[in-house]
Amino acid sequence: MKKIKIVIIGYGNVGRGVQKAIAKNQDMELVAIASRSVERVKAEVKDVPVVDVREIAKWQAELQADVAILCGGSKSDLDKQTPEIIKYIPTIDSFDNHSCLPAYYAKIDEAAKKANRPAIISLGWDPGIFSLERVLANAYLVGARAYGFYGLGPKGGLSMGHSDAIRTIKGVKDARQYTHAITEAIDKVRNGENPEFSAGDMHSRECFVVLEDGANPAEIEAQIKSMPGYFAPYKTTVNFVTQEELNEKFKGFPHDGCVVSSSTTGDGNGALIEYRCQWGSNPEATAQVLTAYARALKKFVDEGKCGAFTILDIPASYVSPLSKEDLLAKMM
């Protein structure tokens, strides 16, 4: 079997998760990790070639990777990196800023068509598998809205994208952002009220921030709370902690969430669809989703497709390692 040759672009939490996920998929092989900080990654990774992402023309000519899985941050990496990488390799990314998604799609679609390659954008669990569940629930339960809730337990769930966004603020050394679902809002949906929510009615945001020496806490709190898309629409609390407190109190990257949709069928029989995910490690779970779609991207390449695609455009059979016969016999 010819394996799908994958290069990881950017080595952080999701990048590490993709490395582990590729090792679980027998039809894939990791040919290199490309980073802006080669020495940092080389110190951690011994068994895979580590290359400078800026030298892509040189190493891609040699490696001939089939797929690049981009693991940079949504806030400031992906909209620069993806249009550059797609000039050389078909891409998969996990861009997760929902409010900027249409503009990001347009930008990558244009770059991918120019390069005559396919790009799958905004994969992961949300956007990603929850997007698919929202669309299906909305189609099956006619007229019902589909709602996504995150951070269902008392501790809430760690949002990687929001933590990453806080860390881009000058004066912030480290940060974690916990999302809390507002339980009354979930109850309204389950009751079939089909409510009209604004983002702030469904979730609140709790930030734990470590400052650089000399940074001004009031200024940083104001910058976080006014950040468009990420925090401005929400009730946000900001707590300043030491690095030791952050490390001690918040271990790992747990997260969870559900998509809920409620309506009626026929002459008024109640109908409820719920789809729930619970992750011990959000970046590893995100990475497993990204990696599974390398299979679909390779099929798109073989079919000569180009432009940007989302999870909504991709058949489940393209993602599965199973043959059509196995899918029919075991999964239908």
Ligand X SMILES: NC(=O)c1ccc[n+]([C@@H]2O[C@H](COP(=O)([O-])OP(=O)(O)OC[C@H]3O[C@@H](n4cnc5c(N)ncnc54)[C@H](OP(=O)(O)O)[C@@H]3O)[C@@H](O)[C@H]2O)c1
- Positions that interact with ligand X (CB under 6 A): 10-15, 35-37, 40-41, 53, 71-74, 77, 94, 96, 124-128, 160-161, 164, 282-283, 286
Q: How far is it, in rounded angstroms, from Cα 84 to Cα 72?
A: 13
Least Å distance, CB 77 to ligand X, is 6
Least Å distance, CB 332 to ligand X, is 28
Least Å distance, CB 164 to ligand X, is 4
Closer of 126 and 256 to ligand X (Cβ): 126
Closer of 66 and 93 to ligand X (Cβ): 93
Least Å distance, CB 200 to ligand X, is 21
Closer of 41 and 141 to ligand X (Cβ): 41
Closer of 262 and 282 to ligand X (Cβ): 282
Least Å distance, CB 165 to ligand X, is 8
Closer of 131 and 262 to ligand X (Cβ): 131
